[in-house]
Structure 1
């Protein structure tokens, strides 16, 4: 039987990697008529497409769900759903505010936030890593970065959770955002618009003030553009970090030698980087072909929807030896988990910092842990991979 791949297939979402392996070997340019997709699965092809913004455009967005896809995609994805020169301008201005110095300066505060969330969990000895920590910590990190007042952070966290909520019933493919998520996005837009207007008259040492001050000559971001960047951070800065933490935790559970090296051997950075390669929270990025593109004897037509599978590229044996093994000694330098080229994730340093702070704090207190496999629950998403529940019992350090 010929290979078939749909990002909306819940059976595939449970474990896409065997299907990815078949795609790479049997159909490196796979046509899915039902979902109207051209799917790229080999590392070389995914990397080339992501680097080639002239032939593979981002203007229709990064995700193919109807709520996200189309000419209005920048409402959700800001400058990430733009091509040059518009993208060049926006990313340049945002980069002036979202600096390496600003990210690095957050580390002491991030440790305080992580310790505050972890202390009661570690004392109890049992907790759900996802709902009790991973769903809370990244949201508070983004609020700290942006400059959301402490009094508003619980509500911002609730709205973020509503946007990221996945229905428990996966009998039917989930192809669009539920109404509650769309309503939460609308409320968050209103909140950030008000906070932007307030900060315009009262600058602070935060990202929002930095975005208001970012300038290239006389060119500045408009309030609407700033709100768009802040909404982007909900998905790019909260959800992916939340899922990364869970994927690290689950990978360690299913690989005892790596777990011991990570928790007791100080291999936290390697734990994060190999998880990013082995089981990235973002599995795919969408593009639109701007002209006919011939690849492996197949012609992707102008206007074709192209799905570049990051999760498959990261398991390509042409690049990574024994790719289905979880190996903390592996060179992960060619992993595409944060994209590549002009759309390489601007927040990759922050995402890595969040994971390093959180897992280092946990490793300092935890000698080992076990999961209740019966309680483990995955998300079901066309684009994201991770968990909604990871019930955990820890063994504290002596």
Structure 2
């Protein structure tokens, strides 16, 4: 029998239009419940039949579901909002696979990241970070998001894949539109699913074109490694490489972009932490980056489906039920982070955050690249723009990304 929807509403558009802090008050109350709670489906602008979802809001429950892929499958889709399976698979690649299939494709991608390529990517990231900050020094009033946060992640993706300079701007716009589809819909009256599928096709075609070129004429780059990688007789097809590009452009772009904006805002509001970091950069930046990721919680949620009847701390979950993993809630759970869970604190010495997922087979494959970008960019920002002033953010209204749409900044001459 399907349970009644919980009295705390975390499904309505009004809830997701409220601030992060307002939503967190509701999640904090749900974290006191005996187990996951049952809720109505999130809003969608196309027909669906989902009865609702279980909300895993505690750090403990999110980690439990994440680490039990046999009991909680990704193959039926990973979106919390109702969405047809086909576009989810097209956008998510091996995020919507379970082992052993997932294991093969994860190994294929990992095989392309040779030590030589990792070193090359790191050098490109550091070089691009310097160029970005060169353009900020003395720039005066700018939108930090468009002038800084959004640049390095997509530059990195473009460098890794080998996207031609002339094609980079439309690729960047397509990647950003994937998660801004809700707001774009309001501006264009085109439904969000159509907007997403349009961007998906553009990104897919860009990657396939490069893959075919590398098969004809290999180069010393990551895409050549990707098309040549082979595990147990498996190689990536064009469609799979196109799907990887979509995943890389979305997961590898918007998450790091948003973490950069949140971290810059956090440091501006806590100048004593900025000074603490600069006093021992090499010794402290590693822990600071972990707090950047926890605090931002750029990806707020993913979901799984129960493969059989089960139970989580007294909540009886039926086979086929959707279980939503609210990372944004788990990353504010006092049981995992202590009494300062709701505070930005780069001096935190125990930080089991779930900003890259709750562990298990789907732990973020690109976490090292994301951390490299954050270290490189904040080294340049904090050492070369000490007098930057940060204003009040304009927030992105979104049910998936914890986003800052605009962040006013002033870089004095």
Structure 2 length-normalised TM: 0.87
CA contact (8 A) 1:263 1:368 kept: no
Partner residue of 1:329 out of 319, 324, 347: 347
1:362 corresponds to 2:377: no
> 2:40, 2:11 → 1: CA distance?
10
Q: Which residue of 2 aligns with 1:229?
A: 244
Q: Which residue of 2 aligns with 1:20?
A: 27
Give 1:64 shift.
2.7
Quick one: structure 1 residues 86 and 353, their matched pair in 2 at CA, closer, same or farther if it must change by over 3 Å? same
> 2:163, 2:317 → 1: CA distance?
45
Partner residue of 1:316 out of 321, 333, 346: 333
CA contact (8 A) 1:14 1:378 kept: no
Give 1:12 shift.
4.4
* Secondary structure of the structure 1 residue equivalent to 2:302: strand
* Secondary structure of the structure 1 residue equivalent to 2:335: coil
> 1:91, 1:104 → 2: CA distance?
20
Give 1:265 shift.
5.3
Partner residue of 2:110 out of 80, 95, 98: 95
> 2:67, 2:331 → 1: CA distance?
16
> 1:221, 1:56 → 2: CA distance?
26
Q: Which runs of 5 or more structure 1 residues have no equivalent in the other structure?
A: none
Deviations 1:164-190 (A, max 9, x none): 435559999x9x735334312212222
Q: Which runs of 5 or more structure 2 residues have no equivalent in the other structure?
A: 1-5, 43-51
Deviations 1:124-172 (A, max 9, x none): 1332110112122211110101111233223322322333435559999
Quick one: structure 1 residues 100 and 38, their matched pair in 2 at CA, closer, same or farther if it must change by over 3 Å? farther
Q: Which residue of 1 aligns with 2:47?
A: none
Quick one: structure 1 residues 236 and 169, their matched pair in 2 at CA, closer, same or farther if it must change by over 3 Å? closer
- Tell me whether 80-89 or 111-120 shows the greater mean CA deviation: 111-120
CA contact (8 A) 2:292 2:346 kept: no
- Tell me whether 235-244 or 12-21 shows the greater mean CA deviation: 12-21
> 1:145, 1:7 → 2: CA distance?
39
* Secondary structure of the structure 2 residue equivalent to 1:152: helix
Q: Which residue of 2 aligns with 1:261?
A: 276
1:286 corresponds to 2:295: no
Partner residue of 2:203 out of 188, 197, 206: 188
CA contact (8 A) 2:203 2:242 kept: no
Partner residue of 2:38 out of 23, 31, 41: 31
* Secondary structure of the structure 2 residue equivalent to 1:252: helix
Partner residue of 1:210 out of 225, 242, 248: 225
Give 1:4 shift.
2.6
CA contact (8 A) 2:306 2:321 kept: yes
* Secondary structure of the structure 2 residue equivalent to 1:321: helix
Give 1:238 shift.
0.6
Quick one: structure 1 residues 378 and 337, their matched pair in 2 at CA, closer, same or farther if it must change by over 3 Å? same
Quick one: structure 1 residues 34 and 158, their matched pair in 2 at CA, closer, same or farther if it must change by over 3 Å? closer
CA contact (8 A) 1:268 1:359 kept: no
Give 1:25 shift.
0.6
> 2:193, 2:276 → 1: CA distance?
41
Partner residue of 1:371 out of 390, 403, 411: 390
Structure 1 segment 1-398 matched on structure 2, within 5 A: 2-6=7-11, 8=13, 9-15=15-21, 16-26=23-33, 28-35=35-42, 36-67=52-83, 69-70=84-85, 73-99=88-114, 101-165=116-180, 177=192, 179-262=194-277, 266=281, 267-322=284-339, 323-339=341-357, 340-373=359-392, 376-394=393-411
Q: Which residue of 1 aligns with 2:45?
A: none
Quick one: structure 1 residues 350 and 152, their matched pair in 2 at CA, closer, same or farther if it must change by over 3 Å? same
Structure 1 length-normalised TM: 0.90
RMSD (CA atoms): 2.5
> 2:116, 2:87 → 1: CA distance?
33
